[in-house]
Amino acid sequence: MKETHQTRCGFVAILGAPNAGKSTLMNHLLGIKLAAVSSKAQTTRSRIRGVLTEGVGQIIFIDTPGIFKPAKRLDRAMVRAAWNEEQDADIRLLIMDASRGKIDPHTQPIIEQIKEQKTEHVWLLLNKIDKIDRLKLLPLAAECEKLGIFEKILMIAAKHDDGLADLKSQLLAAIPEGTWHYPEDQLTDISERLIAAELTREQLYHHLGAELPYVSTVVTDTWENFRDGSAKIQQTILVEREGQKAIVVGKGGAKIREIREAAQAEIAELAGKPVHLFLYVKVAERWQDDPEHYENWGLEFKA
């Protein structure tokens, strides 16, 4: 490790409305999939830290759940986590879907809270610029600049790595001097078990209907490594109703096989080894009221 006075280290919170591209941004900045990604909103539930070490700088990215109007206990815990993580960050990245050509109604309340709290060091990332005409993008950037709350406004397309090299270099220059919090080769502070569960849950979003992924979760029960370099992983998918279980399993077990094969490939790529994934589906009517799940996700269990 470099000398203390030469190194830089800082926390960067990624904020935004659901489906703005927060997890995609962090995954692409790190070059590895840590957070579940889907086209459906509110995919991220847990607080996930990704560590980028480059040169003398170390950035700890905090991928937070999307900020939205919460209804259920889990929703409220997710939104609280997002705002709590923001408070301790050195830099806040507010990511907004620019493809609409205007400040969307889901991002507006976040902007209002930033203004009300007089939050400092907020950078606005106009994301998905590949989906908007540049003639519409520039007026949007000008409108956001007039708000007077953003230290920087950058344009990116996280999914295509467009603008990410510049973002990374600017962040490395802006974080404060300090000692690194993690070893140079560490990419995250969460366990393989939790990442594996998140990757399987991602496949629920890809393979199931609009509502079912929101009333289900995944738990990694066991992870056994073998001498030949492979691993056996057993996970349980929790749902709230018998009818939901039938949908996850599918006719003749077809749907659960699709989910298992896709998740197994993702987890094997992450682990860098062959993986044998076994999935079980269990009805747990009140899984959203179990404090253990919240603890695993780094969320606060409150009414």
Q: Of the ranges 68-77, 88-97, 111-120, 224-233, which one carries the lowest mean pLDDT score?
A: 68-77
Residue 38: what pLDDT?
Answer: 46
Q: Supply the pLDDT for residue 59.
A: 95
| Tokens read off for 155 | 């344009």
Mean pLDDT value of segment 80-109? 81
Both structure tokens of 39? 């086209």
Q: 10 Å Cβ neighbour count for 92?
A: 24
Question: What are the start-end ranges of the E strands in the chain?
Answer: 8-16, 48-54, 57-63, 91-97, 122-127, 152-155, 217-225, 231-239, 275-283
Q: Does domain 4-174 have CATH number 3.40.50.10320?
A: no
Mean pLDDT across the chain: 84
- Residue 229, burial from CB neighbour count under 10 angstroms (0-12, 13-18, 19+): exposed
pLDDT at 55: 93
Spatial distance between the Cα atoms of 249 and 237, rounded to a whole number of angstroms: 10
Q: Which residue, 294, 188, 187, 280, is CA-closest to 233?
A: 280
71 or 143, which is more confident? Answer: 143
For residue 297, the model assigns a pLDDT of: 59
Do 7 and 179 touch, CB atoms closer than 8 A?
A: yes
The side-by-side arrangement of strands in the sheet containing 217-225 is 217-225, 231-239, 275-283
- Assess whether the region 4-174 and the region 192-297 belong to the same CATH fold: no
* Dihedral angle over CA of 48, 280, 284, 197, nearest 10: 0
Give the pLDDT confidence score for residue 213 in this predicted structure.
64
- Residue 302's pLDDT is 62
**Domain boundaries defined on the chain:** 4-174, 192-297
CATH of domain 192-297: 3.30.300.20
Query: pLDDT tier at 40 (50, 70, 90 boundaries)?
Result: very low
Q: What is the pTM of this model?
A: 0.75
Backbone angles phi, psi at 180, to 5 degrees: -65, 145
Q: What is the pLDDT of residue 1?
A: 44
